[in-house]
Amino acid sequence: MKTILIVDDEPRTRQGIRKTLEAWSSGEHRIVTASNGVEALAWLEKNETNLLVTDIRMPEIGGLDLVEKLNEMAYPPVVIVISGHPEFDYAQRALRLGVVEYLLKPLDKAKLVRAVEQAFKREEDLHRIGRMEKLVDPKLLEAGEQEMKYSPPVRETIRYLEEHLHEPVSMREVAEHLHLNASYFSVLFKEQTGLTFSEYLTRKRIQRAKELLVSTRMPIADIAERVGYQTAKYFVKVFRSIESLSPGQYRQRDAEEEETTPY
């Protein structure tokens, strides 16, 4: 059950938003209200929310000041702000803070519901991106950022490995595929990517394995075979050397983090 926190110092507006979202959610979401930013922060010290719907102008702590404080959290909620006036400066600041929608009072119920649906979609996208970022090998990421500067043989090698990652691939085999001398190819690849052919291939295989570990329930032995290792024992050894965890421990850690992340 996801949580929506509504913050507005006007009781009529606050309760109107709550009733609209309760009717829309049909009990699928937990909906909480606070009458000002101070009350909201006190509640958030002990609770988590997925979505914040807040007025901009409130005593003591305004809506955007509240959003700024929440952005310091490990898992800040997505935000919709509401305002009685179309103030350009407020709208600009809201955009800079990553606010999903800026709605004007009096609120249109249909627009409010659409904004909430959009906010939850944004939250899911951010969650998915966050999980994928954790899977990316920083050395592969750095190499990938420079790919357009690589010579055609190196770019072709990267494409070839993507397509043949599940097969037993050797540097000599790839050099022959490119009609290049193996020694020359070895120097060329390391010079341009910063990684030896063997290190690049290993890291690519382990990254693919991590993706399969967190997105499927595939057995470890099957994943080992899927990423080009003939035995699960050797795959586990290589995986541990790079991640400092066994594949099973990596999958378990991801599952535990998923359970404790408020998305």
Domains identified in the chain and CATH numbers: 2-129 (3.40.50.2300), 136-260 (1.10.10.60)
**Residue carrying the six token digits 């290792």:** 229
The kind and range of the H/E element at 38 are helix 37-44
**Higher confidence at residue 142 or residue 184?**
184
Supply the pLDDT for residue 191: 95
pTM beyond 0.85, yes or no? no
Give the length of the chain: 263
Supply the pLDDT for residue 172: 95
Helix 182-193 and helix 197-215, axial crossing angle in degrees, nearest 10: 60
Confidence of residue 188 (pLDDT cuts 50, 70, 90): very high
Residue 244: left if φ>0, alpha if ψ -120 to 50, beta else—which one? left
* Radius of gyration of the CA atoms of the chain, in A: 25
pLDDT in tens, 104-146: 889 999 999 999 999 999 988 888 887 777 888 889 988 888 8
In this prediction, residues 147-153 reach a mean pLDDT of 91
| Average pLDDT value for the chain | 90
Supply the pLDDT for residue 263: 52
Helix 152-164 and helix 197-215, axial crossing angle in degrees, nearest 10: 40
In this prediction, residues 78-88 reach a mean pLDDT of 84
Supply the pLDDT for residue 84: 82
Supply the pLDDT for residue 93: 78
The dihedrals phi and psi of 239, each to the nearest 5 degrees, come to -60, -45
Inform me whether the pLDDT recorded for 204 exceeds 70: yes
Supply the pLDDT for residue 91: 78
Neighbours of 127 (CB within 10 A): 16
Supply the pLDDT for residue 262: 53
Counting DSSP H helices and E strands in the chain, the numbers are 13, 5
Confidence of residue 260 (pLDDT cuts 50, 70, 90): low
Cα–chain center distance at 76: 13
Helix spans in 78-231 (H): 88-96, 109-135, 138-145, 152-164, 171-177, 182-193, 197-215, 220-226
Supply the pLDDT for residue 261: 60
In this prediction, residues 68-89 reach a mean pLDDT of 84
Which residues have a Cβ under 8 Å from the Cβ of 106 and sit 6 or more positions away?
Answer: none
pLDDT in tens, 9-45: 999 999 999 999 999 999 999 999 999 999 999 999 8
Coil, helix or strand for 101?
A: strand
- Edge-to-edge strands, sheet with 78-83: 29-34, 2-7, 51-55, 78-83, 101-104
Cα–chain center distance at 80: 20
